[in-house]
Amino acid sequence: MSSEFNELLPVAQDERVQVWIIGTRDQVIFTMNEFYVRRIATDRVQFTPIIPAPFATGKYMTVLVR
């Protein structure tokens, strides 16, 4: 399904999908950039700020909300 059809689907704010990215800081930044280049995320502000993962030592995380 192409993105123009996805925009026509009714999605309530509380039903938006979350994609969690967890890894080293470099892996998280690389994946965020890759999502932007591949147009999975239309803007980098769709990601939450990078924070230390509370359940994994030495890992960081961000969440993409679509």
At residue 18, φ and ψ (nearest 5 deg) are -115, 135
- Distance CA(19)–CA(38), nearest Å, equals 15
Give the pLDDT confidence of 7-21 residue by residue, as tens digits.
666 666 667 789 999
| Inter-residue contact 36 to 25 (CB < 8 Å) | no
Give the pLDDT confidence of 20-49 residue by residue, as tens digits.
999 999 999 999 999 999 999 988 889 999
